[in-house]
Structure 1
Amino acid sequence: MKLNIRKYILPLKHTFSISRESRDFQDSMIISLELDGKIGYGEATANPYYKVTFETMRSEIENIRLEIEQFNLKNPEAFHAFLVTKNLSNFAVCALDLAANDLYGKLLKKPLYQIWDTDNSTYPITNYTIGLGTIEKMVAKMQETPWPIYKIKLGTQNDVEIVRELRKHTDAIFRVDANCAWTADETIAYAPQLKELGVEFIEQPLKAEDWEGMKKVIQHSVLPTIADESCIVEADVEKCNTHFHGVNIKLTKCGGLTPARRMISNAKAMGLKVMVGCMTESTVGISAIAQLIPQLDFVDMDGAMLLKEDIADGVIISKNGKVIFPSLGGSGITLH
């Protein structure tokens, strides 16, 4: 296989703010793997919270470039198993795994959801994320993009008031994401008010390591909770089972589609709700996530919708949330 690594700096439509950071651009690494005239694409975005940069990912991959290019791609699972023996970060593994899956599907001339024998006639609608900001700016973002489900980023001293004000402007379903900013007592106190305001669930209210706090929350919160920062890799799913009602799986954090599919299966077997989320990827990463949606209860794959300029063609999300899957095999990605 021929390996190529490219850096993109993706401009965002609006400053994106959560409880711990703000940004106007998103650094992204795009991997391509070429074999027999077909090219597969994968993506992993940089993330300061996890101390991952484009440069660190590229360096890891360049160290094993020769082994990657000499690898005999029989299937993506075997390639992923090889990668995890090389001590790469999960972010770097993700980009390579996504590229291998896209390539594999293109070689077979089938989209991944068909290869996995899943029916894409029904699937959850993605939410659209409203980053933290002034009430006026958050309302303006909703009005700019009318949508049936919003995920609202919180983590301030007046979070319930923010949701109350936003509710005046839409009948959409709300989901709230505190990104680790609340305490257990705050979460339990906020939950009844948020439920009255049409909030469906709370994502990662407490710090990732506050398992005792989450045990208290799951016993007393009137709203379901979904793990994000507490659910990174496959082993985390079992721990989340007794502390959350569901898990939000991120491909970049767990290492790609291959482990994500196992996490989905394991979470379902435990009776957990399953969500897959994005990390502000372009259509490259979003098209990979979309292959999983027939298996999910919830999905957050609005990353490309938040960009000022996209870099690829693939899955299209229409204004009513309907997903248009390309006829091209794999994840259906072509780079601009």
Structure 2
Amino acid sequence: MQLDLKKYILPLKHTFSISRESHDFQNTLIASLSLNGQTGYGEATSNPYYKISVESMMAEINAIRTAIQAYTFTTPEIFHTFLTHKGLSNFAICALDLAAHDLFGKLKGKPLYEIWNTNLDHYPTTNYTIGIASIEKMVAKMQETPWPIYKIKLGTDNDVNIVKELRKHTDAIFRIDANCAWTAEETIFNAPLLKDLGVEFLEQPLKADDWDGMEKVMHHSVLPIIADESCILESDVEKCGLHFSGINIKLTKCGGLTPALRMIKEGKDLGLKVMVGCMTESSVGISAIAQLLPQLDYVDMDGSMLLKEDIADGIIISKDASLIYPKLGGSGITLR
């Protein structure tokens, strides 16, 4: 099995700001695995919050390059176990796991959603993210991309007023992501005000380890609360079941599609709403997320829409928010 790694620097359409950071570019790793004339592609972005860089992922993978290239590939799940035993970070595993799934589907000549015995009769619409900026710039972003659902990044001293102003310009559903910036008291206070402004749910308002605060919020918030930073690994799902209404699974954080599939099942078994989210990534990562859509309640897969220029072709997100799935097997990815 041939392994290739390449770093890309993805320029963004607009400066992207959340409560703890801002950036104009996103560094990302594209991994490719080739076998029997087919090539599968996977992606994992750098992330300063988790102290992950493209260089650190490449170093990890290159340290076991010989073992990977000598590996006898059968299924992505068995390959994932092999990678886990090698001690790679979840981000590095994600890039390889996504590539393995794309390769597996291409070898089978079937898209992943079909291999998983799901169909596209019903699937959720992705939200479009509006990062923190001046109200004028946030409104301009909405007007530039009219969309049925917006995720609004908050974590300022003026959060409710921001939503009031944005509401004047659209009838779209709002979802709020405070990225750990609020306290329990703020969340409980803000929730009814935001509900009246057409907010569907709140994503990770409190710090990831504030379990006591989340328990308080769970009992007093009038809006559902979705875990993000509190739900990284498979082992987090059960605990989140006691403190949240739902979970947002990030493929890069959990280690790819293989653990994500198990997390989706466990979340549903616990009665949680299940969402999969993205980083600011190319169509390589987004097309992998798209394969999971029939299994999800919510999805945030707008990463490639935030880029000035994509590096790959795969799932197409149309201007009316509908999707056009690629005809290739796997995740259907071709690199430009």
Once the two structures are TM-superposed, the CA of residue 168 in structure 1 deviates from its matched residue by: 0.1
Counterpart amino acid of residue 212 in structure 2: E
Q: Can you list the C-alpha shifts for 1:58-93, whole angstroms capped at 9, x where unaligned?
A: 000000001111111110000001000011110000
Equivalent residue for 1:313?
313
Once the two structures are TM-superposed, the CA of residue 146 in structure 1 deviates from its matched residue by: 0.0
3-state SS, counterpart of residue 329 of structure 1: coil
3-state SS, counterpart of residue 252 of structure 1: helix
3-state SS, counterpart of residue 175 of structure 1: strand
Counterpart amino acid of residue 89 in structure 1: S
Equivalent residue for 1:78?
78
Once the two structures are TM-superposed, the CA of residue 104 in structure 1 deviates from its matched residue by: 0.3
1:60-99 equivalences under 5 Å are 60-99=60-99
Equivalent residue for 2:17?
17
**Whole-Å separation in 2 of the counterparts to 1:112 and 1:232:** 23
Q: Can you list the C-alpha shifts for 1:165-188, whole angstroms capped at 9, x where unaligned?
A: 000000000000000000000000
Once the two structures are TM-superposed, the CA of residue 313 in structure 1 deviates from its matched residue by: 0.3
Equivalent residue for 1:42?
42
**Whole-Å separation in 2 of the counterparts to 1:121 and 1:28:** 32
**Whole-Å separation in 2 of the counterparts to 1:63 and 1:36:** 24
**Whole-Å separation in 1 of the counterparts to 2:281 and 2:245:** 26
3-state SS, counterpart of residue 304 of structure 2: helix
Counterpart amino acid of residue 38 in structure 2: K
Equivalent residue for 2:4?
4
Identity of aligned residues (%): 73
Once the two structures are TM-superposed, the CA of residue 319 in structure 1 deviates from its matched residue by: 1.3
Equivalent residue for 2:206?
206
Once the two structures are TM-superposed, the CA of residue 288 in structure 1 deviates from its matched residue by: 0.2
Once the two structures are TM-superposed, the CA of residue 308 in structure 1 deviates from its matched residue by: 0.2
**Whole-Å separation in 1 of the counterparts to 2:52 and 2:127:** 26
**Aligned pair 1:29/2:29, yes or no?**
yes
Once the two structures are TM-superposed, the CA of residue 50 in structure 1 deviates from its matched residue by: 0.3
Counterpart amino acid of residue 77 in structure 2: E
**Whole-Å separation in 2 of the counterparts to 1:282 and 1:64:** 25
1:176-215 equivalences under 5 Å are 176-215=176-215
Counterpart amino acid of residue 61 in structure 1: I
1:276-291 equivalences under 5 Å are 276-291=276-291
3-state SS, counterpart of residue 288 of structure 1: helix
Equivalent residue for 1:144?
144
3-state SS, counterpart of residue 11 of structure 1: strand
Q: Can you list the C-alpha shifts for 1:211-234, whole angstroms capped at 9, x where unaligned?
A: 000000000000000000000000
Counterpart amino acid of residue 144 in structure 2: E
Counterpart amino acid of residue 222 in structure 1: V
Equivalent residue for 1:328?
328
3-state SS, counterpart of residue 275 of structure 2: strand
**Whole-Å separation in 1 of the counterparts to 2:69 and 2:118:** 31
**Whole-Å separation in 2 of the counterparts to 1:38 and 1:50:** 33
Counterpart amino acid of residue 280 in structure 1: T
Once the two structures are TM-superposed, the CA of residue 121 in structure 1 deviates from its matched residue by: 1.6
Q: Unaligned stretches of 5+ in structure 1?
A: none
**Whole-Å separation in 1 of the counterparts to 2:296 and 2:95:** 21
Once the two structures are TM-superposed, the CA of residue 265 in structure 1 deviates from its matched residue by: 0.3
**TM-score where L is the length of structure 1:** 1.00
Once the two structures are TM-superposed, the CA of residue 285 in structure 1 deviates from its matched residue by: 0.2
**Whole-Å separation in 2 of the counterparts to 1:86 and 1:131:** 37
1:286-297 equivalences under 5 Å are 286-297=286-297
Equivalent residue for 1:169?
169
Counterpart amino acid of residue 45 in structure 1: T
3-state SS, counterpart of residue 234 of structure 1: coil
Counterpart amino acid of residue 318 in structure 2: S
**Whole-Å separation in 2 of the counterparts to 1:188 and 1:46:** 33
Once the two structures are TM-superposed, the CA of residue 254 in structure 1 deviates from its matched residue by: 0.1
Once the two structures are TM-superposed, the CA of residue 322 in structure 1 deviates from its matched residue by: 1.1
3-state SS, counterpart of residue 151 of structure 1: strand
Once the two structures are TM-superposed, the CA of residue 130 in structure 1 deviates from its matched residue by: 0.1
**Whole-Å separation in 2 of the counterparts to 1:41 and 1:121:** 26
Equivalent residue for 2:248?
248
Once the two structures are TM-superposed, the CA of residue 305 in structure 1 deviates from its matched residue by: 0.1
Equivalent residue for 2:113?
113
**Whole-Å separation in 1 of the counterparts to 2:57 and 2:39:** 20
**Whole-Å separation in 2 of the counterparts to 1:271 and 1:203:** 17
**Whole-Å separation in 2 of the counterparts to 1:245 and 1:310:** 34
Q: Unaligned stretches of 5+ in structure 2?
A: none
Counterpart amino acid of residue 185 in structure 1: E
Query: What is the RMSD computed on CA atoms of the aligned residues?
Result: 0.4
3-state SS, counterpart of residue 271 of structure 1: coil
